[in-house]
Structure 1
Amino acid sequence: MSPDPYDVVIRARRLIGPRGETAGSVAVRDGRIAAVAPHDAPPPAARTVELADDEVLLPGLVDTHVHVNDPGRAEWEGFPTATRAAAAGGITTLLDMPLNSLPPTVDPESLAVKRESARGRVHVDVGFWGGAIPGNRAHLGPLHDAGVFGFKSFLLHSGVDEFPPLDAAGLEAALAELATRDALLIVHAENSAAIDAAPSPHGEHYRDFLASRPRGAEDVAIAQVLDLARRTGGRVHVLHLSSSDALPMIAAAKADGVRVTVETCPHYLCFTAEEIPDGATQFKCCPPIREAANRERLWQGLADGTIDCVVSDHSPCTPELKRLDTGDFGVAWGGVSSLQLGLSAVWTQARLRGHGLADVVRWMAGRTAEIAGLHRKGAVEPGADADLCAFAPDDAFVVDAAGLHHRNPVTAYQGRALAGRVRRTWLRGEPVDVAGPPRGTLLSRGEA
């Protein structure tokens, strides 16, 4: 160790590192973790922080699926509010989706607009996905060179007209183009024809909405994505998996060497279709929250590694667009607002199934960082950015949407009892003050 004092040392009797839980002293210099020393032998530092006995030191979470909607629809969310919510939930890095903002991030010029909108307004580190849509194949290479972390595509209407879906030929062409750069294609995998053939969503009955987005629509689309990845050798990532029926073919594809990774979301792991009241459109998301037995199979997929990671898919809107006044699932915007609550929500359910905090950290920090290529994020180890959070796993609370930091006080978790509270968050070794000036950095692929 260096004889010079470190900038700060954070001491924790419980710390989740790459090899599981231990006690330790994390020494920080110039925003990076310089050393992890024994708890009872901390190195000298200008400042020492002692975690409370009931707190666990975790790496800052990495949420790679967030809809910030800024610029253009900042009344739905926005960089200041989204990143405050992220920091309050232990997230120190997020990747912003390319749609719902205006313009969508589908060429280098629109990426520049997005970055300028975010500059100086983020409380955590933020990177950006690009989009793959009809007609922008020539922009994929320049967007990749400009630093996006990969490319999102839809196989059905995205919900906004300015981000249209790819057909089968377009998906294959995009994946072939991206494979030449080893770039990642992330896919909203629901089959448009299967959903067109399903009953139309309408009214306040959740069971009718669920019937309008059948598991088979996911399964057919995922099979298509896996086949194309197998044939092109490209890297693909299946977004927000809700259908457990797709797990066997995903596992088989992985065993065959297909380059596929898969995420799911806290709402699919926490809620069940059977408990959603009629008219409760705050639970509407696409694909939908499914039945209890399906939820348990998703948990098994996480446990055995078929599902790689858990991300928020934070997709907020104004209260009016949720149509809470009518409770009509057919016209309400689809998306669950959960950016600040994901860690507590997943931990609440994980501990009931025998999982530890090391598992949760792997799903929500280590693996997400690895998939996105964020090499300095998601771990408490020397060389990593000193992005950390103090989490009290036994500190229970009841969710009050009015006390959350995201822009509009609507969430499916309202009134839900959760275990575990984030008490402090550090970005590059400095505590994040959500009421103070933003100190987050805009990230580019290859530089983080």
Structure 2
Amino acid sequence: MLDRIITGATVVLDSGATHVDVGIADGRIAGLYAAGAAPDAADRLKAEGLVLMPGAIDAHTHFTASPDGVEDEIFAGTQGAAAGGVTTVIEMPHSLPPAIDLAGFAAKHALCAANAAVDFALWAGLDGVNAGQLRALHKAGAIGFKGFLCSPRADGAAPDPTALPAIGDRALLEAMRVAAEIGALVGIHSENHDILLAAQARLRAEGRMDMRAHAEAGPELAEIEAVQRLILFAEMTGAKTHVVHMASARAADLLNAARGRADLTAETCLHYLCLDEEDLVRIGPVARCGPPLRPRAVADALWDRVMAGAIDMIASDHCPYDPALKHNNLPVWEAGMGLTGIETNVPLLMSEGVIARGLPLHAFARMTATAPAQRFGLKQKGAIRIGLDADMTLWDLNGSTTVRGDAFHGRAKFSAFEGTVMRGQLRRTILRGEDVFADGHDLGRRGQGRFQRA
């Protein structure tokens, strides 16, 4: 007997959308059956009129980046992940201490294992001097190694004790060579440090304190140059290389042109697609992020690349700041650098990609689940397929949800999308066969999430 059967839904498989009943046993997908042909099940979930998708994998989250209340933030934040259709998060190395050695990595693992309500994997960090640690971190289960080509500090140091410094070219090449030897992935925040510093110094000298100054302090050129340099390093070292939060269509074009020469992927975020520089000016510090929101023409061009399949996946880059760090009274240069997104990223892709622009359902599944599972080696995740974990989401494409930051989980009760009506309503999120979110109710338990490794 099956533990559960889901009947009546339009099911999005690797091959496309179809009508089958999905059987679940022992937390995995046990069978795909013609209507009425499934064996008996202890629980029958009727889902007529709904769409069944693989659970999303968010490759870029920062639940542990604050030194205060981190246990509760991991739990609440991952409940928010479930409320946003995400069944696996890949947490960045920021923490106190950062995950740049085995001790830091073990501490982060213990925090997430005790508190996460959905499954999780962990990035380790590159700090420019820890190349000798990478083999041990990889063996311990690090899903990849995250590095920054820039820092808000002129000397390239980490901006705070939880963060990472900018990594120079010599150290980056060394790390990428080691990563290539052990088959590990390198993920890079790609902006040219010197270009950013020069732009900000000029604006500060001019006394600029307006929000548009933030956009001008992060010119697209800084991203284009850094991505181009990273592509060359990937080509020369053979390292599997991933560009995080890509905000430039021109950078995406460079990466796509080089795919045959190097092992390259890229993610983008819905705020780089749906918001632009004018929104930054209108919204204020809540919309400050790095890279900054671009002009509308850049965002539209990036949408074109998404619709053409030229961006591999979406991620949230969720940064759960204390709201005091995003307050409108703060000077532009002091506001927190990052947005909320774990509860809106996937629903916005459904709304603005699938419903508004006609993104095919199988492309939605690829970008939110299948591609990240494949890139990060999560062999039990990413698709509705017999034998894989029963991680799934149910959607009502005729429903809608209005973004309300004060209803978010965790401390970061703000959103650059405040008041936006997202078409297509997430009705249920299922983790390894169990409901962790259903019809507005949080059902995930503290510590329910399991550690995932490649």
Q: Does residue 172 of structure 2 align to residue 171 of structure 1?
A: yes
2:19 maps to 23
- Which has the larger displacement, 170-179 or 10-19? 10-19
- Provide the C-alpha distance between the structure 1 equivalents of 2:72 and 2:412, rounded to a whole number of angstroms: 7
Q: Does residue 113 of structure 2 align to residue 119 of structure 1?
A: yes
> Alpha-carbon deviation of 1:279?
5.9
Amino acid at match of 1:310: I
Amino acid at match of 1:85: G
Show the 5 A alignment for 1:397-416: 397-416=401-420
Show the 5 A alignment for 1:69-218: 69=64, 72-74=67-69, 78-99=73-94, 101-157=95-151, 159-160=159-160, 162-200=163-201, 205-218=210-223
Cα shift readout 1:301-360 (whole Å, capped 9, x = no counterpart): 22333211111010121111113223x321111111010111211122113222122221
TM-align CA RMSD? 1.8
> Alpha-carbon deviation of 1:89?
0.9
User: What secondary structure, in the 3-state scheme, does the structure 1 residue paired with 2:337 have?
Assistant: coil
Show the 5 A alignment for 1:224-303: 224-254=229-259, 256-278=260-282, 280-303=284-307
> Alpha-carbon deviation of 1:156?
0.9
The 8 Å contact of residues 87 and 432 in structure 1, kept in 2 or not, is answered as: yes
User: What secondary structure, in the 3-state scheme, does the structure 2 residue paired with 1:305 have?
Assistant: coil
User: What secondary structure, in the 3-state scheme, does the structure 1 residue paired with 2:187 have?
Assistant: strand
Q: 1:354 aligns with which of 351, 358, 367?
A: 358
- Which has the larger displacement, 26-35 or 430-439? 430-439
User: What secondary structure, in the 3-state scheme, does the structure 2 residue paired with 1:98 have?
Assistant: coil
User: What secondary structure, in the 3-state scheme, does the structure 1 residue paired with 2:87 have?
Assistant: strand
The 8 Å contact of residues 185 and 235 in structure 1, kept in 2 or not, is answered as: yes
Q: List runs of 5+ in structure 1 lacking aligned partners.
A: none
The 8 Å contact of residues 435 and 444 in structure 2, kept in 1 or not, is answered as: no
> Alpha-carbon deviation of 1:159?
4.0
> Alpha-carbon deviation of 1:391?
1.2
> Alpha-carbon deviation of 1:435?
4.9
Q: Does residue 31 of structure 2 align to residue 35 of structure 1?
A: yes
- Provide the C-alpha distance between the structure 2 equivalents of 1:360 and 1:249, rounded to a whole number of angstroms: 23
The TM-score with structure 1 as length reference comes to 0.93
Amino acid at match of 2:274: C
- Which has the larger displacement, 181-190 or 388-397? 388-397
Q: List runs of 5+ in structure 2 lacking aligned partners.
A: 152-157
Q: Name the count of aligned residue pairs.
A: 438
Q: 2:51 aligns with which of 38, 44, 56?
A: 56
Q: Does residue 342 of structure 2 align to residue 329 of structure 1?
A: no
The 8 Å contact of residues 71 and 111 in structure 2, kept in 1 or not, is answered as: no
> Alpha-carbon deviation of 1:246?
1.2
Percent identity reads: 32
- Provide the C-alpha distance between the structure 2 equivalents of 1:320 and 1:209, rounded to a whole number of angstroms: 19
2:155 maps to none
User: What secondary structure, in the 3-state scheme, does the structure 1 residue paired with 2:406 have?
Assistant: helix
> Alpha-carbon deviation of 1:396?
1.5
